[in-house]
Amino acid sequence: MKKLMLGNEAVARGAYEAGVKVATAYPGTPSTEITEFIAKYETMYAQWSPNEKVALEVAIGASVGGARSITSMKHVGLNVAADPLFTVSYTGVNGGLVIMVADDPGMHSSQNEQDSRYYARAAHIPMLEPADSQEAKDYIKEAFTLSEKYDTPILVRLTTRISHSQSLVEIQDPQEVELKPYEKDVMKYVMMPGMAIKRHVIVEERMKKMTMDASSMSINRADYKDLSMGFITSGIPYQYVKEVFPDASVLKLGMVHPLPKDLIQEFCSKVDKVYIIEELEPIIEEQIKSWGLDVEGKDLLTVQGEYSANMLVERIKKEDLQLKTPEVLPQRPPVLCAGCPHRSVYYRLKKLGKHATGDIGCYTLGALDPLKGLDTCVDMGASIGMLHGIEKARGSDFIKDWVSIIGDSTFVHSGITGLVDVVYNQGCSTVMILDNSTTGMTGHQENPATGVTLKGENTNQLDLVKLCESVGIRRVRTVNPFRYKELEEAISEETQIAEPSVIIVKAPCQLLDKSGSFVQNYIDEEKCKDCGMCLKLGCPAIKKHNGVMMIDDTLCVGCNLCVGVCKFQAIRKVGTRS
């Protein structure tokens, strides 16, 4: 039976058919749906972990325990998991271990275009790369076979275009995979220097063996047609090559590390002109050129963004497609939702003249006009450490006009250690945890602070107040962002105190309110003085239409933030929308 599947859904199906027992992840676009689909299979244990490092460690533990396990993350998440990644390469596995990583060429929802293939090379871990949903499922099963055959974890790389596009997938029955026996083996699983030195030799022998075997693996295949022109490619660029050059010879790589050297040399010896088509970095191209082979790639193509069939036509076929210049549309920058509790925080910070170091999440949108509420945003958990660094550089008086801003999920992910650092090193940062009771930007996933598991079961809820107190914060306040006076007082007071403090700003994400009933506001035209104060909130429900200020009743949820900023009492409640 065939079924139309997202690439991420096909990965989950592959894990199910491969007999996986344990699946872990921290949500991150474009990888999030993998574990959400896995959670629907009752035979697999699935969990959100506090961060990617923990997720990988849990999967490693399950593997050592004899079970097939899988963990999933986006490309920047692999940075967080890099510490155990490099060492599990040395220990190898017991039950098969697959690490899914989803890169984001074009940065549709990421802060950089990192190419995860570098990690495969650096950590000496084999990497597979599927080109459609069918391969996404098949490669997962193949990855577990290779993992156990060669005693190695396997990286499987997706890109956004594979994760979020659909194609037909042949459904098969799941394999019956028994737990492998656990045997204590400190020389294999305890990586003290004396053991690690010996394991490093084994890792190098393993990679040499896989390099030799790669040329005969079915996932690496050469399709010889017109020998005047050929392409070496993998992943989604393979689809573009087949569309534009249907008669050309193609060497499709299913394994992008290690490369099948013998197969590539044979292909290049038979084809007159060979192009390397790979998105992002020239990783395949540089290796092939290092072997003395004449190929062409990045001198024609780019290391930035996604490729397309049109790009190949223009850059390689040298045809002018005379594509129309896209119409210039009014810009629609991303904004905080109408009724978002974060808007109130940024408005108050701006009113008080405060600066903020920021983090990754919905609240990052507060950096944009008109709120301009963030000064920095680097990576998950960076806000607290960066403010501490500013204090150490410029003194405690300087940061009396500063706070760090972090979400509840991000605080659990990697903010806790930053707070411990502030306390330990006698800083006086004011940290604002914007607790909206969800992991908002990736689609409302649960986290340890919500008290609900990935499978929807109630569980122990992390108490953020007690946690902050336990690491040494004596001043912890919880405020409602819609109680404006209390919020302003908390910010003003805590930033002036010569010790670290935490303000937990707690209100649920507006999108989680499923009641469907809101008390809305309207603008009284007779009282409105057209001062524009309400526009400074950046609320998408407030607009100026035909010269008149108005509130869009399809968007307004009646948070009343605009009521508080109108000096002329021109904004009032109008009624209930269901």
> Which residues are documented as binding site?
528, 531, 534, 539, 556, 559, 562, 566
Give the three-class secondary structure for 533. helix
In this model, does residue 578 exceed pLDDT 60?
A: no
In this model, does residue 61 exceed pLDDT 80?
A: yes
Strands (E), 151-281: 154-159, 166-170, 221-223, 226-233, 248-252, 255-257, 273-277
* 3-state helix vs strand vs coil in the chain, percent to 5: 40, 20, 40
Q: Which has the closest alpha carbon to 26: 11, 40, 3, 46?
A: 46
pLDDT value for 573: 82
**Which positions ≥6 away from 391 have C-beta within 8 Å?**
398, 399, 427, 428, 429
pLDDT value for 553: 86
Measured from the Cβ of residue 94, the count of other Cβ atoms closer than 10 Å reads 25
Phi-psi region of 371 (alpha: psi -120 to 50; beta: other; left: phi over 0): alpha
Specify whether the CB–CB gap between 405 and 383 falls below 8 A.
yes
CA–CA dist 289, 303 (Å, integer): 17
> Which residues are documented as binding site for [4Fe-4S] cluster?
528, 531, 534, 539, 556, 559, 562, 566
Specify whether the CB–CB gap between 33 and 57 falls below 8 A.
no
Six-digit token pair at 230?
């050929």
Q: What mean pLDDT comes out for the span 3-23? A: 98
Q: What mean pLDDT comes out for the span 233-252? A: 98
- Give the tens place of pLDDT for each residue, 356-415: 999 999 999 999 999 999 999 999 999 999 999 999 999 999 999 999 999 999 999 999
Using CA atoms, how far residue 402 sits from 314, 376, 428, in Å, is 50, 12, 11
For residue 159, which amino acid is it?
A: T
pLDDT value for 374: 95
More confident residue, 553 or 191: 191
Six-digit token pair at 542?
């407030």
* H/E segment holding residue 193: helix 193-214
Using CA atoms, how far residue 26 sits from 74, 80, 231, in Å, is 9, 11, 36
Q: Which has the closest alpha carbon to 543: 554, 345, 511, 334?
A: 554
Q: Is 460 exposed, middle or buried (0-12, 13-18, 19+ CB in 10 A)?
A: exposed
Give the three-class secondary structure for 329. coil
- Give the tens place of pLDDT for each residue, 301-322: 999 999 999 999 999 999 999 8
In this model, does residue 514 exceed pLDDT 70?
A: no
pLDDT value for 120: 98
* H/E segment holding residue 208: helix 193-214
Six-digit token pair at 182?
């656990």
Prediction pTM value? 0.93
* H/E segment holding residue 64: helix 52-64
CA–CA dist 510, 374 (Å, integer): 21
